[in-house]
Structure 1
Amino acid sequence: MSRRQMEITPELMLRAYRIGLFPMAESREARTLYWLDPEQRGVIPLDGFHIPRRLARRMRQAPYRITANQAFARVIDECAAPRPSSPDSWINEEIRGLFVALYEQGHAHSIEAWQGEALVGGLYGVALGGAFFGESMFSRADDASKISLVNLVARLRIGGFTLLDAQFQTSHLAQFGTQEVPRAYYKRLLSEAVEMPAYFPTDLAEGVLEAEIAKLRQLDQTGSESRP
């Protein structure tokens, strides 16, 4: 982890992500950003993603309306907002501004979960070639962030992505089959993924997303092994 020595721009952010670095702030009020390059990296397998049974049953009830790239700034603000388990945040004003700029340039994307007109969950991240770097998620209603993640994985598969970087392994992400891989191995995966042609699908024909989620469930049930 190194202290920032120069102004961070959206262009510098993209170069950093390409080689496996990402920035964080120590707190919401911090004025200094740090580059992180963890020894162990969390990777969510796109070919071996696990949907817990309870969540699959919940999704069949369609409790939320899911969209993509409809409320990026609101999603990042919700991710940075205080919550009982985490009163502070690594997302400060500079981080927010950089990601909003990347979104405006077409490099960052969000998934939103809506209950009526209320934004109740979502996530955001950065796309480079066939790599997607998940940054943060939030939930204001049961399973909203989990359903957003399933939706993200389905979209990435449709768009031809090969790598979903979760940065760190957590107990929350472990339930989906997230694996930790050594830094050197991660960077080999990354170097291949960023050169892959891929696109982030927002508007999809009716039934396409649902069919991909159904395929995810089928792969999960047949015990398909991931190869991160």
Structure 2
Amino acid sequence: MALPELPDNPCLFPDPVQALDQPNGLLAFGGDLSPTRLMAAYRLGIFPWFNPGEPILWWSPDPRGAAVPGDMIMSTSLKKWLKKTPYQYRCNTAFAKVLEGCAAPRDGQKGTWLSPQMRAAYLKLHELGYAHSVEVWLAGELVGGLYGITIGRVFCGESMFHRATNASKAAFAALHARLQGHARLIDCQLMNPHLASLGVKEMPRSHYLQILAEERDKLMPDALWQRGEWPCPLTS
């Protein structure tokens, strides 16, 4: 089956069930990264992911990595670490710096998928109030964090990073604690062993899309995402 190219209308996407099995979830190519198109995609369970030099590629994998807020797995050693380490937690105070941290090449990698084009697109979503950062600070330095997009009562996680021990896990724990009772799901897109170790589970795409349809027009309290400090996830 030929991969469809997106039309000019930024709100039109193929049905996610038409995504390829190999590579898992590849649905379409083309279009742009305008806020209208991005938000239309996330509302349908679709996200962009492509390397520099490639056309914009759109995905909806099956199964999907997802977590219920409050169901994070934290080992005893991680809990002890978070209790003794003077990390500070903040929301939306350094979104651009979190993007830069997530864009830095990982160990063994030469480049990054989070290109300047992608960073500019998510920064615009942040300015519009749709994208948010969870930040971990130590002695005045940003040492870890994550960012994602809110679609109703679903948080669509995009990427995380760390520059200090357990800092990305700390950010994920803070997100769980903050969203418990307010969001139904944390979307983690594609599973990997690291996410599995934190309690993220595979969910059939059909189930994810059903939950998304039920929750995308509901709202989380605006106060959840106010710029400022968050408590330690073990005391919130």
State the identity as a percent: 34
Tell whether 2:49 aligns with 1:24: yes
TM-score normalized by structure 1?
Answer: 0.85
**In the superposition, relative to structure 1, how do residues 36 and 209 fare at CA in structure 2: closer, same or farther (>3 Å)?**
same
Runs of 5+ consecutive residues of structure 2 not aligned to the other structure:
1-25
Rounded Cα–Cα distance in structure 2 between residues aligned with 1:47 and 1:118: 27
**In the superposition, relative to structure 1, how do residues 82 and 133 fare at CA in structure 2: closer, same or farther (>3 Å)?**
same
Tell whether 2:176 aligns with 1:153: yes
Tell whether 2:97 aligns with 1:74: yes
Within 5 Å, which residues of 2 pair with 1:40-59? 40-59=63-82
Residue 15 of structure 1, aligned match among 10, 16, 40: 40
Rounded Cα–Cα distance in structure 2 between residues aligned with 1:120 and 1:97: 22
Q: Which one scores higher on RCO, CA 8 angstroms, separation ≥ 6?
A: 1
Rounded Cα–Cα distance in structure 2 between residues aligned with 1:95 and 1:37: 18
Shift of 1:205: 10
Within 5 Å, which residues of 2 pair with 1:95-134? 95-134=118-157
Q: Give SS of 2:220's match.
A: coil
Q: What is the aligned-residue RMSD (CA, Å)?
A: 2.1
Q: Deviations over 1:143-171 (max 9, x none)?
A: 0110011001111125x111100001111
**In the superposition, relative to structure 1, how do residues 172 and 3 fare at CA in structure 2: closer, same or farther (>3 Å)?**
same
User: Which structure is higher in helix share?
Assistant: 1
**In the superposition, relative to structure 1, how do residues 24 and 38 fare at CA in structure 2: closer, same or farther (>3 Å)?**
same
Residue 194 of structure 1, aligned match among 207, 213, 216: 216
Rounded Cα–Cα distance in structure 1 between residues aligned with 2:135 and 2:177: 14
**In the superposition, relative to structure 1, how do residues 13 and 156 fare at CA in structure 2: closer, same or farther (>3 Å)?**
same
Q: Give SS of 1:32's match.
A: coil
Runs of 5+ consecutive residues of structure 1 not aligned to the other structure:
216-228
Which ranges of 4 or more aligned residues in structure 1 deviate by more than 3 Å?
202-206, 212-215
Contact preservation (8 Å) 1:25, 1:92: no
